[in-house]
Amino acid sequence: MSSKDPIKTCRVDPKTFDLKKVDPQDHPGMKDKASAALATAANLEAIANWQYRLYAENKQALLIVLQGIDAAGKDGTIRKVFSVLNPQGTRVRSFKQPTEEEREHDFLWRIHRNTPRHGEVGIFNRSHYEDVLVVRVHDLVPKKVWKSRYTQINQFEKLLSSSGTKVLKFFLYISPEEQKERFQERLDNPEKQWKFSTGDIEQRKYWDDYVDAFQDVLVNCSTPTAPWYVIPANRKWYRNWIISEITKKAFEEMNPQIPPPEPGLDQIVL
């Protein structure tokens, strides 16, 4: 991974990537919190303007996938980065344990029906990747089943891309020590205790298993049309900046255009 361009640094190269070599405390491309706040604010203004153009054009869509170990900051990212988006053109979906109806379909059924329409930004808080992560770590389906899903996911995301939906995938990577601090913060704050479950403690026992599962996800499912970005997320200010930077860059590449006005509007005076 390149150390010069922070976006390239975070983007997964399937041939060389090793999650265990990523430092969750790192902040490539940004020196401190104050500088990050200024840069993030400018990025968010640009993102809001680009979303307006995307909505007006109504020919493309942007899907943002957020994954991470518990307390990695998925909710915080939506609140701090993507709350700038106009709700009229934004769809946020959280994928938890599948319902009985969802279990009676293929694993992508509930995902596909929630992808953004043209003109929209879709945000997935967890996603189809749960079906190659949780099911693997807890041995809920046979290995041959979850392993075959890598190819199925890549084909699904290629379909989205060829249909006009740009896919950005962010893995928010924190250290076990940082997770412990964030869990304790939730326990100490009565207004945040609802976010904590005793099951969270049990899940910490599977930390290494989840790291191994994420490693395989990242190298098997980071493609040219739907790349993975690993975000060092111990520092929330860095997380917010680099995600806003990558999102702004994606919008620039999409370059949605305001539609031309109806002929003769310049002759109308009210």
In CATH, what number is assigned to the domain containing residue 136?
3.40.50.300
Whether 270 maps to a domain, the answer reads no
Total of domains in the chain: 1
The domain in which residue 247 lies consists of 6-256
Q: Do residues 26 and 237 make contact, with C-beta atoms less than 8 angstroms apart?
A: no
Residue 263: inside a domain, yes or no?
no
Would 261 be classed as within a structural domain?
no
- One digit per residue, pLDDT tens: the chain, 270 residues? 334 799 999 999 999 999 999 999 999 999 999 999 999 999 999 999 999 999 999 999 999 999 999 999 999 999 999 999 999 999 999 999 999 999 999 999 999 999 999 999 999 999 999 999 999 999 999 999 999 999 999 999 999 999 999 999 999 999 999 999 999 999 999 999 998 988 888 899 999 999 999 999 999 999 999 999 999 999 999 999 999 999 999 999 999 999 998 888 888 988
Whether the full predicted model's pTM is greater than 0.85, yes or no, is: yes
Residue from 156, 159, 103 nearest 129 by CA? 156
**By the 8 A CB rule, do 90 and 120 touch?**
yes
Contact 43, 248 (CB under 8 A): yes
